[in-house]
Amino acid sequence: MSKSVLVIITGSIAAYKSLDVIRQLREHNVRVTAILTKGGAEFVTPLSLAALSGGPVYNDLFSLKDESEMGHIRLSREHDLIAVVPASADMIAKMAVGMADDLATATLLATDKPVIIAPAMNSRMWEHKATQRNIAQLCKDNIRIIEPEAGDLACGEVGSGRLADVETIVDRIVHALVGDQPLRGFSALVTSGPTFEPIDPVRFIGNRSSGKQGNAIAKALEQAGAKVTLVTGPTAETLPENVKTIRVEIAQEMLTACKASLPADIAVCCAAVSDWRIKSPCREKLKKHTNTSAPELDLVLNPDILHTLSTLKNNRPKLVIGFAAETESVRKNALQKLKSKGCDWIIANDVSEGKIFGKDMTSAQFITKQTNEAWNSISKDELAQRLVKKITTHFTSQNVKIITKKKG
């Protein structure tokens, strides 16, 4: 996840818990910037916030230093979400009427991003009509509320108003940032890009694969919550974030890296692996001698990674997906490939006339033993999204089946 949150800490005895919220958000790879209100600074120090957030801590609307570093308008827009943790009764009241008399309130008024608050206060203050009126107003304003819990309060009373659990707050923030993550808990292996099989130290057998499609699939799987390993051949493309990436050159290395990345629930073999390699690549650069014939290249078959993964006895991923780059009889050849490789699904591309390789757009047929769908003229990102949807549905319907079986 490559998201950022602006956390506003207001004056409440629960303010110390915001430190743990920040720590856990960072464990989810969320970048955190903090605003500490005057009240909040009575309970936690800017130093501990800076240490845990790993970023700057702002507190003053009229500070020349803060405004020149990042003005409050930028501060309010440059994050994906603003979280007020804890939100005091005073802050809630100010937000409800739209006050802007300090950095925190001015930022909240200027933002165009979602806002989520975790109130914390004495139970009488929480239950007071004024606070409840303010909360109702904030709900109307589309501000999300993480309800406080009932229990022992710091003031010695018992009742509702205690800051929600740190885990609950972190979960709600992460969910607000990334939405549902249907593949959370799943692991996926993606192969991508070409392989370069050396002829000699300077020449190789390669192909036109750019790695764009494999990267897009790895990114979409990661965004859906899967733990992804990307095994990629040489590519100039920017690699996706938060994905464990193993760079390889040749097919044999790709196979070794794939096997080392098992077990995995899902395998998507998107790489354009060279079918052959030179039996014995020359250690020295082959010389071209005028008037002599060209050298003969002795080729041997490369291992077929898709076939190997699909036919593993013990460690076969639950769902194995292959690609087929074809220039003729696309569907017929893809169906044949589905059988011969032993994979579950095939995505077939017509790569004739320089289509698809290296381009941002693609056209494909999604082929299983039961179905065949045409996905015409879509971006490679869109193909990745559609594939992830199919994968999610596949695993969800399997779960439904298991539940039904148990009940029956």
Among positions 336-355, residues that touch ligand C5P (CB under 6 A) are 337
Asked if residue 266 binds ligand C5P (CB under 6 A), the reply is: no
Q: Please report how close the Cβ of residue 192 comes to ligand C5P at its closest, in angstroms.
A: 9
Query: One symbol per residue from 316 to 335: x for binding ligand C5P (CB under 6 A), - otherwise; what is it?
Result: ------xxx-----------
Span near ligand C5P by CB under 6 A; candidates 18-26, 101-109, 265-273, 373-381: 265-273
Among positions 213-252, residues that touch ligand C5P (CB under 6 A) are 251
How many residues are recorded in the chain?
408
Residue 155 designated active-site: yes
Query: One symbol per residue from 274 to 303: x for binding ligand C5P (CB under 6 A), - otherwise; what is it?
Result: -x--------------------------x-
Sheet holding 3-9, edge to edge: 57-58, 30-36, 3-9, 81-87, 115-119, 144-145
Of 306, 335, 364, 384, which one interacts with ligand C5P (CB under 6 A)? 306
Contact of 360 with 324, CB cutoff 8 Å: no
By beta-carbon proximity to ligand C5P, the closer residue of 53 and 365 is: 365
By beta-carbon proximity to ligand C5P, the closer residue of 86 and 193 is: 193
DSSP letters, 297-345, are: P-EEEPP-HHHHHHT-SSS--SEEEEEEEESSSHHHHHHHHHHHHT-SE
Q: Which of the residues 139, 155, 282, 343 is marked catalytic?
A: 155
By beta-carbon proximity to ligand C5P, the closer residue of 137 and 256 is: 256
- C-alpha distances (whole Å) from 188 to each of 26, 154, 239 are 23, 46, 16
- C-alpha distances (whole Å) from 264 to each of 52, 69, 87, 226 are 33, 45, 42, 10
Burial (0-12, 13-18, 19+ Cβ within 10 Å), 65: exposed
Main-chain dihedrals φ then ψ at residue 96, nearest 5 degrees? -65, -35
Span near ligand C5P by CB under 6 A; candidates 6-14, 132-140, 174-182, 270-278: 270-278
Closest CA to 37 of 103, 90, 110, 92: 103
By beta-carbon proximity to ligand C5P, the closer residue of 202 and 300 is: 300
**For the stretch 330-361, what's the b/e string if a residue is b when 16 or more beta carbons lie within 10 angstroms of its beta carbon?**
bbebbbebbeebbbbbbbbbbbeeeebbeeee
Q: Please report how close the Cβ of residue 280 comes to ligand C5P at its closest, in angstroms.
A: 19
Q: Please report how close the Cβ of residue 277 comes to ligand C5P at its closest, in angstroms.
A: 10
| C-alpha radius of gyration, the chain, whole number | 28
Closest CA to 230 of 219, 149, 238: 219
Q: Please report how close the Cβ of residue 394 comes to ligand C5P at its closest, in angstroms.
A: 18
Q: Please report how close the Cβ of residue 321 comes to ligand C5P at its closest, in angstroms.
A: 8
Q: Please report how close the Cβ of residue 201 comes to ligand C5P at its closest, in angstroms.
A: 23
The CA distance from 218 to 189, in Å, is 8
Among positions 93-152, residues that touch ligand C5P (CB under 6 A) are none
Of 273, 330, 334, 351, which one interacts with ligand C5P (CB under 6 A)? 273
By beta-carbon proximity to ligand C5P, the closer residue of 306 and 330 is: 306
> Angle, nearest 10°, between helix axes 380-407 and 212-223?
40
Q: Please report how close the Cβ of residue 311 comes to ligand C5P at its closest, in angstroms.
A: 12
Binding site for ligand C5P (CB under 6 A): 191, 251, 269-271, 273, 275, 302, 304-306, 322-324, 337
Catalytic residues, by residue number, are 155
